[in-house]
Amino acid sequence: MTNPDHWSTIRELVAWLDKENDRTEQEITLRLLKLTEEVGEVAQAWIGVTGQNPRKGVTHTPGDVADELCDVIVTASVALASIVPDPAAHLDAKLARIAARPRTP
pLDDT in tens, the chain (105 residues): 456 799 999 999 999 999 999 999 999 999 999 999 999 999 999 999 999 999 999 999 999 999 999 999 999 999 999 999 999 999 999 999 999 999 988
Determine if the pTM surpasses 0.85: yes
Classified as helix, coil or strand, 51 is coil
At 103 the pLDDT is 93
For residues 38 and 71, is the Cβ–Cβ distance under 8 A? Answer: yes
Region of 28 on the Ramachandran plot (φ > 0 left; ψ -120 to 50 alpha; else beta): alpha
At 1 the pLDDT is 47
